[in-house]
Structure 1
Amino acid sequence: MSVQERKQRERADRERLIVATARQLAEQQGWDAVTTRLLAERIEYSQPVLYSHFRGKREIIGAVALEGAAELAATLRAATSTVAGQRARVTALARAYLDFAERNPAVYDAMFQLDGGLVFANEDTPEPLKDAFAALLESLGEVAGDGVHPGLFTELFWAALHGLATLTRARRLPPEVTEQRTQLLVDRLAVL
């Protein structure tokens, strides 16, 4: 391995460490606790080293969001890959989405609530975000109904899931009836 390859590998390792540490800190204490000074202390590098990877907290949030989008896509695909039948597949997708949001609140915030400098729904959208939407579309596009654009239906279903996740987490909706809400969403929106 050449010196340049070793340096590139070390740089990639440092970047992963920064993102993982930011994510861990945000999940434990919230995003307000994530500062470049604290991250530098936690990863045992100077702030200039941290800034050589990311221009600031906004880019770190964006990196966490991209990582989260890749995980969400994998989670959705895993939840639906072995399920037979459209209704069961859509229900599994909805449950997996809501479970992901509940288990990863700081990551979910980075993806959808905080400004990570990411662009959604256009040509400049990063691939992990496009892939997360594609993972939704794979199951939802087939239940959009006649004359309904699959992408538009997927956006609507996704918005409903996001609303459920956000309102439940904020304790605006009681969590004990999440399953009934999920089933109602599938029954009313998905044309099966």
Structure 2
Amino acid sequence: MTLEDRRTREQAARRQLIITTARALAEAEGWEAVTTRRLATEIEYSQPVIYKHFAGMDQIAAAIAVEGFGELADAIRTARSSPDPLNRIAHAYVDFARHNPAVYDVMFTRVTTLHFAAPDTPPELTAAFTELREAVAVAAHGQDTDALTEVVWAALHGLVVLSRAGRLRPGYESDRIQLLVAQFTRG
């Protein structure tokens, strides 16, 4: 291994350490706790080291969002291979949001530098949409699959946000998902 290869590997490991630490802090204490000063303390590097990898918190948040979209795409892909794909995907989506609230926030509610449905959209974002689209396509019945996928995604997002805010009756999550899926799977 050359010295350059080793440096590249070490830089990638430091970058991932910053992302992982920021994510853990956000999940444990909220996004307000995630600052470059706090990250520097947690990872035991100076703030300039963080700035060598990221221009600021916006870029760190975007990197966490991209990582989250990759994980969401994997969860949807796994659910899509089940006998009842749209139902399993809806549950996988809601479960992902429940288990990763800070990551979900940065993916969908915090302002980031990421662009959706644009030429510079990161592949992880596109993959998550594509996985959902593949399941929705089966139930599209001649409708605009992309638009229908956006509606399903928006409905799932609404369920997540309203549930987290305590705006929906507790204990009825599965019933709501079943009703939502039924609206899209009628022939």
Q: Report the TM range for the smaller structure's normalisation.
A: over 0.9
User: Is residue 2:47 matched to residue 1:51?
Assistant: no
Instruction: Answer yes or no: is the 8 Å Cα contact 2:80–2:131 preserved in 1.
Output: no
CA distance in 2, matches of 1:175, 1:144: 30
Q: Deviations over 1:108-137 (max 9, x none)?
A: 001001122100111111111000101101
- In structure 1, the partner of 2:121 is 125
> How far apart are the structure 2 equivalents of 1:98 and 1:51?
34
Aligned counterpart in structure 2 of residue 138 of structure 1, from 121, 134, 137: 134
Secondary structure of the residue aligned to 1:176 is coil
Q: Which amino acid aligns with 2:138?
A: E
Q: Distance in 1 between matches of 2:13 and 2:170?
A: 39
For 1:19-34, list aligned pairs within 5 A: 19-34=19-34
| Count of residues paired in the alignment | 187
Alignment partners' CA distance in 2, 1:23 and 1:182: 28
Given that residues 62 and 115 in structure 1 are in contact (C-alpha distance below 8 angstroms), is that contact kept between their aligned partners in structure 2?
no
Using structure 1 for the length normalisation, give the TM-score: 0.95
Is 2:174 the partner of 1:179?
yes
Deviation, structure 1 residue 175: 3.1
| Separation of aligned partners in 2, 1:44 and 1:174 | 44
- Measured against aligned partners, the alpha-carbon deviations of 1:66-115 in whole angstroms (never above 9, x if no partner) come to 0000000001111221x22xxx1110010000010011000000100112
| Conserved? CA contact 1:36–1:47, under 8 Å | yes
Report what 2:98 is aligned to: 102
Q: Give the match for residue 163 of structure 2.
A: 168
Partner of 1:72: 72
Task: Give the root-mean-square deviation of aligned CA atoms.
Answer: 0.9
Tell me how far apart the structure 2 counterparts of residues 49 and 40 of structure 1 sit (CA, whole Å).
Answer: 8
Amino acid at match of 1:93: I
Residue identity over aligned pairs, in percent, reads 49
Q: Tell me, which stretches of 5 or more residues in structure 2 are unaligned?
A: none
Point out 4+ residue stretches in structure 1 off by more than 4 angstroms: none
Give the CA deviation at 1:189. Answer: 2.5
Displacement of 1:173: 1.0
